């Protein structure tokens, strides 16, 4: 059966369509246009969302957990809880993100997450759950100086052998690798991972400018939670931030919760990367959607109070949701809601090389949508053409 969605506006997200309509067949978008342009079959199911906005479903490429669970638990029950929480906030796809842990624990988690990513691409996945697209491996190839809360004893030099073990454990479903370009073996591993189609992201790094540039030349094309866990930008020592903010070959993501980065620097970030290369993430942990208290990030104990997540005085992820990141960005950087939504849809899809299927409303793309109020609040989430 054909499903027709109607709304006052639609963000593709590059363009805006007024008095909009979307046609969906078998979980795929069949057509996008105005109500006058689309033919509505007589037996179609028609859903009219009034003065709302249709947009692509949000994509979070850096999330550790939510609803009291961590993605590294890897069980279907834990992932289901996290994924249903994300769906409430307009997220339809995501990259479950690891944290540095003992190698055997990481391999076990990667095996379970790889299975989940494989299963999510089939029609068997519950339509009430956001779908894992591939794993984001954050750690263990990070800088000791800028490790954040990643356990120092478990950090590793960049190793092709260890990466191969992780790659095989996840059945090749590693989509993003965060790595510090200055550590031993990093340039060689960046080259190899990029050759396999992994989007290599510079992060948790104390790299000098030349070291960061070498990482980009080797194939790194993204940056992880810009400003956080990075060498500070100085006017005579621009370091990794100098490379990330100025090199048009790289996209970059940022945590816009008002805690990790001052709103003024969010504005600077968007000006530097432009609406085409800026990506919004949450870096959310198990405490997301839960009351204040003590939670876990992998094996790390985290205290959460008034939206701030800390472990031994260091920031340890967030309780941010991606729809709130969109609204915050529109406010902090003085950009349109449409452009803020682009940073959480098409741009992360482009990071993953999936921009023809995800993060866009166009014929042939997956029917993953979020319905927003004009103020940017999520009304409904649609995954695979099923309205939740």
92 CB-contact burial (10 Å; exposed 0-12 / middle 13-18 / buried 19+): buried
- List the one residue out of 375, 190, 178 whose CA is nearest residue 281: 178
Among 283, 323, 366, 368, the one annotated catalytic: 283
Q: Which residues contact 57 (CB under 8 A, 6 or more apart)?
A: 90, 91, 92, 93, 345, 358, 359, 368, 369, 370, 381, 382, 383
Decide if 257 is catalytic: no
Q: Are 230 and 245 in contact (CB under 8 A)?
A: no
Which residues are catalytic, by number?
Answer: 283
């Amino acid at each position: 059966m054909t499903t027709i969605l109607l709304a006052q506006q639609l963000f593709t997200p590059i363009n805006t369509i007024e008095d909009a309509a979307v046609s969906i067949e078998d979980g795929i978008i069949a057509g996008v246009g105005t109500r006058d342009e689309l033919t509505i079959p007589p037996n179609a199911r028609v859903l009219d969302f009034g003065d709302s906005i249709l947009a692509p479903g949000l994509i979070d490429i850096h999330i550790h957990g939510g609803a009291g669970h961590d993605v590294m638990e890897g069980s279907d029950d834990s992932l289901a809880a996290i994924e249903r929480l994300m769906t409430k906030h307009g997220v339809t796809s995501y990259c479950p993100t690891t944290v540095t842990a003992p190698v055997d624990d990481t391999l076990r988690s990667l095996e379970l997450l790889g299975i989940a990513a494989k299963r999510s691409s089939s029609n068997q996945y519950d339509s009430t759950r956001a779908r894992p697209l591939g794993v984001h491996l954050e750690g263990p190839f990070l800088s000791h100086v800028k490790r954040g809360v990643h356990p120092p004893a478990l950090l590793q030099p960049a190793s092709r052998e260890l990466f191969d073990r992780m790659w095989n454990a996840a059945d090749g479903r590693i989509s993003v690798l965060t790595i510090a370009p200055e550590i031993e073996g990093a340039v060689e591993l960046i080259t190899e991972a990029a050759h396999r189609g992994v989007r290599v992201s510079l992060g948790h790094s104390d790299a000098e400018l030349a070291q960061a540039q070498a990482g980009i030349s080797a194939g790194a094309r993204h940056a992880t939670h810009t400003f956080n866990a990075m060498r500070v930008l100085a006017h005579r020592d621009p370091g990794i931030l100098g490379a990330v903010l100025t090199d048009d070959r790289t996209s970059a993501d940022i945590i816009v919760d008002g805690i990790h980065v001052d709103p003024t620097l969010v504005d600077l970030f968007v000006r530097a990367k432009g609406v085409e290369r800026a990506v919004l993430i949450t870096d959310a942990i198990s405490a997301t959607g839960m009351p204040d208290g003590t939670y876990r990030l992998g094996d790390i104990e985290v205290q959460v109070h008034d939206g701030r997540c800390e472990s031994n005085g260091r920031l340890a992820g967030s309780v941010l949701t991606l729809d709130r990141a969109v609204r915050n960005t529109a406010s902090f950087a003085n950009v349109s809601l449409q452009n803020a939504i682009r940073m959480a849809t098409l741009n992360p899809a482009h990071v993953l090389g999936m921009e023809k299927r995800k993060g866009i409303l166009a014929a042939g793309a997956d029917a993953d949508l979020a319905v927003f109020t004009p103020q940017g609040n999520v009304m409904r989430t649609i995954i695979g053409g099923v309205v939740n």
